[in-house]
Amino acid sequence: MVKSSPSPIAQPKPSKVEGIKENSNFLREPVATEILQDTTHFSEDSIQLLKFHGSYQQDNRDNRVKGQEKDYQMMLRTKNPGGLVPPQLYLALDKLADEYGNHTLRATTRQGFQLHGILKKNLKVAIATIVNNLGSTLGACGDINRNVMAPPAPFKNRPEYEYAWEYAQNIADLLSPQTGAYYEIWLDGEKIISGEENPEVTAARQRNGNGTIIHDNPEPIYGTHYMPRKFKACVTVPGDNSVDLYSQDLTLVVILNKKGELTGFNVYAGGGLGRTHNKEETFARLADPIGYVDKSDVYDIVKAIVATQRDYGDRSDRRHARLKYLINDWGVDKFRAKVEEYFGKPVAPFKKLPEFKYQDFLGWQEQGDGKLFLGISIDNGRVKDEGSFLLKTALREIVEQFNLPIRLTPHQNLIFYDIAPENKQAIQDILDSRGVVADPNSIEPLVRFAMACPALPTCGLAITESERAIPGILDRIRALLDKLGLQKEHFVVRMTGCPNGCARPYMAELAFVGSAPESYQVWLGGSPNQTRLAQAYTEKLHDNDIESFLEPIFVYFKKSKKQKESFGDFCDRVGFDAIREFTATYDPLAANSLGKSRRRVSLKDEVYLQLKAAAESQGKPMTDLVHAALEAYFQNLP
């Protein structure tokens, strides 16, 4: 009996975006043609390719009118490895925001800037202006390596921080697209180089490394189809989690010897936060330790990991296309083995690291060489002038007068550095006169550690509000904590308008993830240092019900927390079953609901607000002020 050969296994059909990339002539068409057309918006194919060039097409939903064309506009994102923004570039962005944008800049959670409100007809001049002023938008978005993050602290007496900056720039250069399309379309073919590339990076890009390179291709690392989805990388130092290292596709941790010399890097891979509601096959995931490599091998290990994802990542289902799913499906050992095939040798064992802590580097600080740096908090990253609050004006004046470089932080804040001590007072005077708070201890802690994505009205994925809603929600949470006698408590709160996770909500102690108009999925139990994933606690909470939802949880926290235990650590320790059991039987009017006798007295709204203001100004609990006032009253009775 003759056996027929088995039928080949059918390969899943590539997604539509894969075809768009293949037919684009390395990111050129149809963008190059459509940018010359007198239209208000781009086609769907161009929209996908524009992301590689650093731009998203949006429409302002606040301005939608039935029967009329959408209010089309472009969002433009800069690529700033390690958050570096030279003074010349900052002033150019500030001017572009006024001339072509919506008069604001927005610091992103990946240490870049976004310009909103740019019309299609002004996109070319905006990108050209950025490139001509030492900036770039190439690879800030798209199926490619995005902006490479690094701790923003400009410590000049701690070499590990300088190495993190150096290698963030080098990895960004290594993985930058090599196509000439960017310069052809936006600068008419004039390739402007803002800095010399490290020769080791140039050599590494051409080194084969057992299949990491695609020969005779304009994109030697990416190939014709680029990556299956976006790829996010960072470089950090031991103990510093300002970069949210566990949320990255690839993290390198600088390892020094006892003499302070760079020896190599610990490598993590497989983090990622994007997910989709009601699609349990999509999920947030923490990066795994992969191993250690010597500094001479760092570019080859990066290429090996990128090549593994390039060649084996899912190109048929974009929801399943990130590196985290490949590692989750394969397991870490199989993934490491495949990376080692591309790498050409085994990866060394992971080096022991100290516990990672979150830092924001705000306020005036010494940078270690006699000069100062200043970290300025920016609510949700929005640089704007509004009423007497003139942040945009203040930053422009400081850059114009003192020509200071900037590092954007992963927390949407900004650091001026290399400040001569004699200029400290003049800079402080500018901030004071413009209503900008420079002392981090004067910022409400809930606000200081919170983040939100832009969401409505411009983000096309937004289900509900985020940036515009979070200030009021934080005020309400603070009022509730004060009411419950938790005045000194604060925690990491993050909010997004959709489940995509741009403000990294799944690493927060308390997060609100948009799930319906005016409603949010609530996540609890992340770590204050962003080293542990939060978990979804409830699927849909209406904005109006936040206080009644959170009150029993906060009461349980007050009643049962350990000394110095944070809210996120408490939720993780006791577990959701215990929290739900407590809230199910919680009676806000019960005398023992706080574990002690509670007698309630109602106050008029205006009296309550006066009491709250007095308590805040004196740094005392409202209860203490009430007791003192009543005691004085009764002592004066006849």
Q: Which residues have a catalytic role annotated?
A: 77, 146, 230, 232, 453, 459, 498, 502
What is the distance between the alpha carbons of residues 391 and 378, in angstroms, rounded to a whole number?
Answer: 9
Q: Are strands 451-452 and 493-496 parallel, antiparallel or unpaired?
A: parallel
Report the residue count for the chain. 638
Q: Please answer whether residues 530 and 492 qualify as being in contact, where contact means their C-beta atoms are separated by less than 8 angstroms.
A: yes
Residue the block writes with tokens 């740019």? 118
Q: Please answer whether residues 114 and 105 qualify as being in contact, where contact means their C-beta atoms are separated by less than 8 angstroms.
A: yes
238: buried, middle or exposed (CB in 10 Å: 19+, 13-18, 0-12)? Answer: middle
Distances (CA, A) of 567 to 530, 558, 572: 13, 9, 9
Q: Are strands 105-107 and 84-85 parallel, antiparallel or unpaired?
A: unpaired
- The answer to whether the peptide bond before residue 621 is cis (omega within 30 degrees of 0) is no
What is the distance between the alpha carbons of residues 214 and 221, in angstroms, rounded to a whole number?
Answer: 6
Segment holding 43, helix H or strand E = none
Q: Any idea what the Cα angle at residue 533 is, between residues 530 and 536, rounded to 5°?
A: 130
Query: Side by side, which strands form the sheet with 288-294?
Result: 233-236, 250-256, 262-269, 288-294
What is the distance between the alpha carbons of residues 109 and 245, in angstroms, rounded to a whole number?
Answer: 12
- The greatest distance separating any two alpha carbons of the chain, rounded to the nearest whole angstrom, comes to 116
One-letter amino acid for residue 76 of the chain? L
What is the distance between the alpha carbons of residues 131 and 309, in angstroms, rounded to a whole number?
Answer: 30
Residue 294 CA, chain-centre distance (Å), reads: 29
Q: Please answer whether residues 130 and 427 qualify as being in contact, where contact means their C-beta atoms are separated by less than 8 angstroms.
A: no
Query: Side by side, which strands form the sheet with 535-542?
Result: 451-452, 493-496, 510-516, 519-524, 535-542
What is the distance between the alpha carbons of residues 348 and 360, in angstroms, rounded to a whole number?
Answer: 32
Q: Please answer whether residues 301 and 293 qualify as being in contact, where contact means their C-beta atoms are separated by less than 8 angstroms.
A: yes
Dihedral angle computed from the Cα positions of residues 602, 607, 612 and 616, in that order, rounded to the nearest 10 degrees:
-150
What is the distance between the alpha carbons of residues 265 and 168, in angstroms, rounded to a whole number?
Answer: 12
Q: Please answer whether residues 554 and 546 qualify as being in contact, where contact means their C-beta atoms are separated by less than 8 angstroms.
A: no
Both tokens of 106, joined, read: 């927005």
What is the distance between the alpha carbons of residues 318 and 514, in angstroms, rounded to a whole number?
Answer: 21
- Among 380, 499, 306, smallest CA distance to 104 is for 380
Q: Please answer whether residues 121 and 144 qualify as being in contact, where contact means their C-beta atoms are separated by less than 8 angstroms.
A: no
